Structure 1
């Protein structure tokens, strides 16, 4: 029978805090310690953080100091408070962000269809390796995915995921994926997307994309280049999405 490991010592947080540079303000030192627990994956979006009283006692700080630091992490988008349920590491909500810009036959926000066209592991080329901060010859899992709405093609996406970080996903195979990838990254490989940066450009559609998107070669397509990162800042996913320019719509409310 496997024994359950004992809970961490109530002094573990206090000892860690005492080991930090006391020339820095207390709340700064505490924030870095909590950040470490997010970056290392000790805290995840699936389980709430310990309660404020327990955390304050663990680190030997006042509840007010602890609340201040948690508030700063919420403001930074690293944590979120769920009413009546506690405080959690925040998941980046990016799965719908691309699709809302492309409308094809429907103006609602129903979940788009998803079909995997390619699934393979291979050494990353120089550009992909550089973007994902990999070494020469390091392998990646590559996906090509077609997104649809009302059975009509909307987006073609090429996705690169670093190995062995995503080895469990590669082993699970495409049938294990649902229509949203980020929940699958978390469930199958334990990888949580903390944020992303995107660049948007326009280019002429090549013949391969034209066949998939149902348009003519040379017609304009919108290209969205996304680099998603974990909470520790390391690259998790490189994604290049293409959609027909005539179905693209961008809207933002400015106040």
Structure 2
């Protein structure tokens, strides 16, 4: 385990749960390989800046989940069993389904990319300082060459150093990019869903004839340490598709 692991005392989740997520993440991405022996509880408590009892609770839960095994002479071992995708740890992001219930695979196109300073609203949602540097980009999703959703995504620049400078270089599988490039796994999303009258901008991106209604989805996404890392504003037409959110 790295001595550079972040201190956890200011996070809103129970500390043992945050420790569990961090260790589970290390197992998932291979930092902790099967057969690895974890440091002692005292060493882990110093690494994470939490009490030994907090570490013990996290390790006990991970042992009960089958990810770790306690051995009297050896210590705590990584079993090699993969974590189960569950509500406690991971969130399977939204899917778009046709009216017949079939899963629709959307294609994303980025239309703009800007580096700005955070507004008061951005700062509040991302828990960063007002006027901190952020990156904001807009894209739309299409299915069978028909636009169905457009969205604006915003992140703190400090979390994504060397972010692409051209919109064409932003990968379509953005959540996977966050994990592969920056080690950020989106582990939870808090969303608010509503409806609104379509604006001229909606009509442009979604090819709508006004007046029309759109589905709105406003989200804050959290990383594996329960820190907000991404805010998104989605606006979609439901004429031919439905938004389905699955938790496993």
TM-score (norm: length of structure 2): 0.68
2:165 is aligned with 1:143: no
RMSD value, Cα = 3.9
In the alignment, which residue of structure 2 is the partner of 1:109? 103
In the alignment, which residue of structure 1 is the partner of 2:62? 70
Larger strand percent = 2
Compute the displacement of 1:122 (Å): 0.4
Deviation string, structure 1 residues 98-135 (Cα, Å, up to 9, x no partner): x425x38x854353111001111101222122111121
In the alignment, which residue of structure 2 is the partner of 1:21? none
1:198 counterpart (181, 191, 212): 191
Q: Show structure 2 runs of 5+ residues with no match.
A: 4-13, 43-56, 68-78
- Alignment partners' CA distance in 2, 1:36 and 1:249: 31
CA contact 2:153–2:233 (8 Å) conserved in 1: yes
RCO higher in structure (CA 8 A, sep ≥6): 2
CA contact 1:52–1:66 (8 Å) conserved in 2: no
Deviation string, structure 1 residues 122-150 (Cα, Å, up to 9, x no partner): 01222122111121111211010110101
CA contact 2:66–2:81 (8 Å) conserved in 1: no
Decide which structure has the larger Cα Rg and report it. 1
1:32-181 to 2 correspondence within 5 Å?
Answer: 34-35=19-20, 37-38=22-23, 43=26, 45-47=28-30, 49-51=32-34, 54-55=37-38, 58-59=40-41, 68-70=60-62, 86-87=81-82, 92-95=90-93, 97=94, 99-101=95-97, 103=98, 108-171=102-165, 173-181=166-174
- 3-state SS of paired residue (1:100): strand
- Alignment partners' CA distance in 1, 2:118 and 2:242: 33
CA contact 2:126–2:228 (8 Å) conserved in 1: yes
- 3-state SS of paired residue (1:211): helix
Question: Closer, same or farther in 2 for the Cα pair 1:189/1:250, shift >3 Å?
Answer: closer
- Alignment partners' CA distance in 1, 2:104 and 2:242: 17
Question: Closer, same or farther in 2 for the Cα pair 1:74/1:163, shift >3 Å?
Answer: farther
- Alignment partners' CA distance in 1, 2:27 and 2:34: 15
2:223 counterpart (218, 221, 230): 230
- Alignment partners' CA distance in 2, 1:110 and 1:248: 8
- Return structure 1 stretches of 4+ with deviation > 6 angstroms: 72-75
Question: Closer, same or farther in 2 for the Cα pair 1:193/1:50, shift >3 Å?
Answer: same
Deviation string, structure 1 residues 45-80 (Cα, Å, up to 9, x no partner): 32163447834x8449xxxx98742156789xxxxx
TM-score (norm: length of structure 1): 0.66
2:233 is aligned with 1:240: yes
In the alignment, which residue of structure 1 is the partner of 2:200? 207
- Alignment partners' CA distance in 1, 2:115 and 2:36: 47
Question: Closer, same or farther in 2 for the Cα pair 1:72/1:177, shift >3 Å?
Answer: farther
Larger helix percent = 1
